Amino acid sequence: MPAKPAKRLETFPNPEVARDYLIHMEIPEFTCLCPKTGQPDFATLVLDYIPDRTCVELKSLKLYVWSYRNEGAFHEAVTNRILDDLASATRPRFMRLTAKFFVRGGIFTTVVAEQRKKGWKPQPSIDLDAFPSQSNTR
């Protein structure tokens, strides 16, 4: 049976609940319709999140993204709606969705929306470039 677009996002248990780790996804084939002209808008979606108890399942994410293909939406609204739906489904510690829309009327639009679990604070970053590698110390 061929796949069809769907608004349902499925999840699976986070295999490493005790650890903060980043999941990074790039979705280069997002399309929706301009609500003014009906012409297609194309974007690359970049999803970064730190899961809590669940992770988003990739096939359901693909079908979810596909479901916007024939919907009219302003860039700002669709970016925030997608983030809201993903955050509602997964309840992450942190989630950021960056939508990089292709040029329309000579203007590139990028919309960045974030969601953070109440009380969650990121671990301090470690700058690995600050440490000399073994090959540089000889």
The one catalytic residue among 20, 32, 41, 52: 41
Contact 79, 115 (CB under 8 A): no
Could you confirm whether 129 is annotated as catalytic?
no
Cβ neighbours of residue 93 closer than 8 Å, sequence gap 6 or more:
20, 49, 50, 51, 52, 116, 117, 120
Catalytic residue among 20, 32, 34, 85: 34
Token pair recorded at residue 37: 């002209």
Rounded CA-CA distance 82/135 in Å is 45
Active site residue 32: no
CB–CB of 45/97 below 8 Å? yes
CB-CB contact of 78 with 99 (8 Å): yes
The CA-CA-CA angle for residues 60, 61, 65, to 5°, reads: 120
Amino acid in the structure at residue 137: T
Please give the positions annotated as active site: 34, 41
